[in-house]
C-alpha cells in the first residue's frame, strides 16, 4: 500500500486559483469519506509561488494511512491575461484561428476523431453568427417603419446592427463562456505556431520541478494529473523532464501519469503539433512510466474512444498499452438526480473527473490521488470497487 504520495496537478484552460482548487478538493474529499468509509484531513495552502502551490492531505482507514503532498502546477495567470483582451482583437484573432484550423484540415480531423469535440470547437463561432443574424434582423425591424431611402437606411442599419451585436456579445459572451472558448482557440493557435514563449518557459519550469521531486521526494509514488488541455501540457512537461534527466524513469519513486477529459489530439491532429506528438510518443515509449487515460462518452469536451498517441479511433473493447485507456461513464459516478440535472451542462460533466463521486465507481479521482492503493491497482478496470469494507478497511484481495 502507498504511505506517501506526491501529486502534481496540471489544470486545463481555466483561470482557477489554487485556493479554488483546494476548496474543490475539500468538497471532493467529503464525498470520498462518505462513500468509501474513509477519513481525511486537508490543510490550507502551505506554500505558493508563481509556478506552483502546495497543500497536504491525510487520508486513513482502520488499517491504512496515506499522506499526500498535493502540488498544483500553475499557469492560471497566463489564462487570466488572455481573458483581458478586448472585443475586437478577440474576434480578429479567433477568426484567424478558425481559418487556420479549417485550411489545415484540422477541424475536419476533429470531426472524424470526435464529432462532439468538433461541435464544441465551433460552438462559439456559431453563437457569434447567430448573434450577428439576430442583430441584423432587429436592425431591419427598427429601420423599416422609418421608410428611409436606401442610401440612408443602409449605413444606419449597419451601424445599428453593429451596436446591437457588440452589446449582445459583451452581455452574452461571458455568461455562455463564448469568450472563454474563443480565448482557448486563440491560445491553441498561438501555442501550435510557437507564439507562446511564456508558456514554453512555464513548461520548462514544470519539467524541472518534476525532475527535482523525482530525485529528492521520499515518497512511494509520484502521480501527475493532467485535465483537459492540461493533459497535453502534462505530457509535454514530462517529456521535457525525461530529456533533462534521462534516468528519471528509473530514479526514485514510481512515476505515474493520469490524464482525464484529455484534449491531447487537439494539438496532435494539427500539422504544427509535432511537439505534442513527439512528447506523447516519448512518454508512451517509456515503459517504466505508467500512463492511464480515462475517457467518457458523456464528456463532449474531450476525445472519446481515441488513442492520443496513435491518433486513431479505437474499438469499444480497446484498452491500449501505453497509455492504458479506460472507458467510464459519468452516470456511474454521480447520482441519477445529479446526472439528469447536469446532463447538458457540458462544463460540469467535463469537470466531474476532478470531483468527488456520489457512489462507488471504477473511476474515483480522490481514491486514485489520495487513497492507499498503488496506481496500477486504483486504475485497474474495476478500480477500488470490492477492495474496501464498509468501515473503510482495505481488504487483502479482490474476490
What predicted TM-score, i.e. pTM, was given to this entire model?
0.93
Nearest-10 Cα torsion for 311, 317, 323, 326? 120
Helix (H, G, I), strand (E, B) or coil at 289: coil
Q: Is 355 helix (H, G, I), strand (E, B) or coil?
A: coil
For domain 4-74+198-378, give the CATH number: 3.40.50
SS3 content of the chain, % helix, strand, coil (to 5): 50, 15, 35
pLDDT digit string (tens) for the chain, length 399 residues: 999 999 999 999 999 999 999 999 999 999 999 999 999 999 999 989 999 999 999 999 999 999 999 999 999 999 999 999 999 999 999 999 999 999 999 999 999 999 999 999 999 999 999 999 999 999 988 887 776 666 667 788 889 889 999 999 999 878 778 999 999 999 999 999 999 999 999 999 999 999 998 888 789 999 999 999 999 999 999 999 999 988 887 777 889 999 999 999 999 999 999 999 999 999 999 988 999 999 999 999 999 999 999 999 998 878 888 899 999 999 999 999 999 888 888 899 999 999 999 999 999 999 999 999 999 999 999 999 999 999 999 996 554
Distance between CA atoms of 333 and 358, rounded to whole angstroms? Answer: 6
Q: Where are the domains of the chain?
A: 4-74+198-378, 87-190
Closest residue by Cα to residue 199 from 244, 174, 229:
229
Amino acid at each position: 500500500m502507498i504511505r506517501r504520495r506526491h501529486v502534481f496537478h496540471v489544470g486545463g484552460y481555466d483561470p482557477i486559483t489554487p485556493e479554488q482548487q483546494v476548496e474543490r478538493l475539500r468538497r471532493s474529499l467529503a464525498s470520498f469519506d462518505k462513500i468509501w468509509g474513509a477519513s481525511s484531513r486537508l490543510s490550507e495552502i502551505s506554500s505558493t509561488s508563481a509556478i506552483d502551490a502546495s497543500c497536504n492531505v491525510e487520508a486513513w482507514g482502520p488499517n491504512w494511512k496515506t499522506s499526500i503532498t498535493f502540488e498544483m502546477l500553475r499557469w492560471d495567470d497566463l489564462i487570466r491575461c488572455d481573458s483581458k483582451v478586448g472585443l475586437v482583437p478577440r474576434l480578429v484573432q479567433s477568426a484567424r484561428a478558425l481559418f487556420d484550423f479549417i485550411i489545415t484540415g484540422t477541424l475536419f480531423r476533429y470531426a472524424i476523431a470526435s464529432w462532439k469535440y468538433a461541435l464544441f470547437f465551433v460552438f462559439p463561432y456559431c453563437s457569434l453568427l447567430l448573434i450577428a443574424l439576430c442583430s441584423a434582423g432587429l436592425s431591419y425591424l427598427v429601420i423599416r417603419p422609418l421608410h428611409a431611402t436606401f442610401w440612408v437606411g443602409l449605413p444606419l442599419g449597419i451601424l445599428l446592427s453593429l451596436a446591437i451585436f457588440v452589446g449582445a456579445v459583451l452581455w452574452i459572451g461571458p455568461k455562455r463562456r463564448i469568450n472563454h472558448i474563443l480565448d482557448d482557440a486563440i491560445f491553441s493557435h498561438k501555442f501550435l505556431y510557437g507564439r507562446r514563449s511564456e508558456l514554453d518557459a512555464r513548461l520548462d519550469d514544470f519539467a524541472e520541478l518534476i525532475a527535482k521531486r523525482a530525485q529528492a521526494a521520499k515518497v512511494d509514488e509520484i502521480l501527475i494529473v493532467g485535465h483537459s488541455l492540461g493533459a497535453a501540457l502534462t505530457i509535454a512537461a514530462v517529456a521535457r523532464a525525461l530529456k533533462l534527466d534521462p534516468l528519471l524513469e528509473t530514479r526514485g519513486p514510481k512515476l505515474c501519469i493520469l490524464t482525464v477529459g484529455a484534449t491531447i489530439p487537439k494539438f496532435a491532429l494539427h500539422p504544427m503539433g509535432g511537439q505534442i506528438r513527439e512528447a506523447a510518443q516519448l512518454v508512451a515509449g517509456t515503459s517504466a512510466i505508467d500512463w492511464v487515460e480515462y475517457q467518457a462518452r458523456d464528456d463532449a469536451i474531450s476525445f472519446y474512444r481515441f488513442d492520443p498517441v496513435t491518433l486513431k479511433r479505437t474499438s469499444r473493447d480497446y484498452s491500449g498499452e501505453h497509455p492504458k485507456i479506460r472507458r467510464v461513464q459519468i452516470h456511474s459516478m454521480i447520482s441519477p438526480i445529479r446526472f439528469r440535472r447536469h446532463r447538458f451542462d457540458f462544463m460540469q460533466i467535463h469537470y466531474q473527473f476532478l470531483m468527488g463521486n456520489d457512489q462507488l465507481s471504477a473511476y474515483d479521482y480522490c481514491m486514485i490521488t489520495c487513497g492507499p492503493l498503488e496506481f496500477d491497482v486504483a486504475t485497474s478496470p474495476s478500480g477500488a470497487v470490492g477492495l474496501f469494507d464498509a468501515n473503510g478497511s482495505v481488504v487483502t484481495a479482490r474476490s
